[in-house]
Structure 1
């Protein structure tokens, strides 16, 4: 795990003391929008599940499925507690290469995953400046921008399938001033992708994506 994966959560905790003299955000019905930044852990790598020959006994496949992305959300509040939320994130980069111990690494493939999620959320009564919330719903994750190394013949004609599944979110809002708030959140998305080579199934991989991020929001 890299330090960048925990940076958004650390920033969220750092925001709280700075809001000690903030006023409480307005409740009731209305819209809320957020824009922020976070870290996505993309789970397993479908490319690494394909049988690929490596050049030496000491070589092995190595995947990087973590990335930092921008994200935004739009929520409609029915009352002080219940809301419907739409959330979208920038495409996260994934890559797989052959780690050659005594030479240069060999790129195998790269692609992006871009999630879009809809959740029903319950926002608890404020705890001072903090207002925690939880939610669950559905997401769709698009697999895009797939590129492969033609020299690795085992993945010639490879394709990856987009998918959908259940999602859950937990987080908290911190009041800053009238209407403005900071948010820290964690999201989990359950989905899988199928790798096909020339139309034939080569591997099915459970991705289980997680996201940790912070954002700045305004509630109208």
Structure 2
């Protein structure tokens, strides 16, 4: 996720440095923005692996980060209020760790669409920050098991908080930096009920990209 922060800072500096002398299209009611992004998905996972009887096995769940391309679609209901949907899919490795144990048990792709309502400050300005809140779904697919483990993860619905900024560059083009905190729990069934875990994923979804305003 550090790479995403560095890219975001560089693009913002470049955008603000070159934008001041250029004409731009401000945000407005009825406008539609498509944003292509590079997105870091970084779970802040917690989850003890328990026996079927509820005893602590001494192992915890560890989930890897991923960096992916993604798309954002934003429609302005008013000059200030917009609805955004994001699309992308990430792949994550799941490990069981504890003491001297660190073993790969599972990998899965995740389809985590987020739909949020945003409030945009300074929509007529070149630099326009925003905040938002919404819902997300976590859909796990194309999963694989490793090292004798059989892991099943439950799909579900969570919620998300969001903050970001758009910097208009020239004409209808803009640079976007966006951060979402997604709150989501899933139940993991391991080895057909012999082990289990209530896993809190709560990923940070941090993006930088380029948008075009229609």
| TM-score w.r.t. length of structure 1 | 0.80
Counterpart in the other structure of 2:122: 125
Q: 1:206 aligns with which of 186, 200, 203?
A: 200
**2:3 aligned counterpart, secondary structure:** helix
Counterpart in the other structure of 1:172: 165
Structure 2 gaps of 5+ residues are 52-58
Paired residues for 1:90-105 under 5 Å: 90-96=89-95
Please list the CA deviations of residues 114-167 of structure 1 after superposition, one character each: whole Å capped at 9, or x if unmatched.
21011111111158521011111111111222211143xxx33x2001121111
Asked if the contact 1:86/1:119 (under 8 Å) is kept, the reply is: yes
Asked if the contact 1:174/1:181 (under 8 Å) is kept, the reply is: yes
Asked if the contact 1:44/1:65 (under 8 Å) is kept, the reply is: no
Asked if the contact 2:131/2:163 (under 8 Å) is kept, the reply is: yes
Counterpart in the other structure of 2:182: 189
Structure 1 gaps of 5+ residues are 53-59
Q: 2:113 aligns with which of 103, 110, 116?
A: 116
Task: For 2:154 and 2:122, locate their aligned partners in 1 and report how far apart those are by CA, in whole Å.
Answer: 41
State the 1:92 CA deviation.
3.5
Counterpart in the other structure of 2:40: 39
State the 1:168 CA deviation.
1.4
| TM-score w.r.t. length of structure 2 | 0.82
Asked if the contact 1:98/1:108 (under 8 Å) is kept, the reply is: no
**1:6 aligned counterpart, secondary structure:** helix
Instruction: After superposing the two structures, state which structure 1 stretch, 89-98 or 183-192, moved more.
Output: 89-98
**1:44 aligned counterpart, secondary structure:** coil
State the 1:79 CA deviation.
2.3
Task: For 2:125 and 2:109, locate their aligned partners in 1 and report how far apart those are by CA, in whole Å.
Answer: 40
Asked if the contact 2:85/2:113 (under 8 Å) is kept, the reply is: yes
State the 1:5 CA deviation.
4.8
Task: For 1:88 and 1:38, locate their aligned partners in 2 and report how far apart those are by CA, in whole Å.
Answer: 11
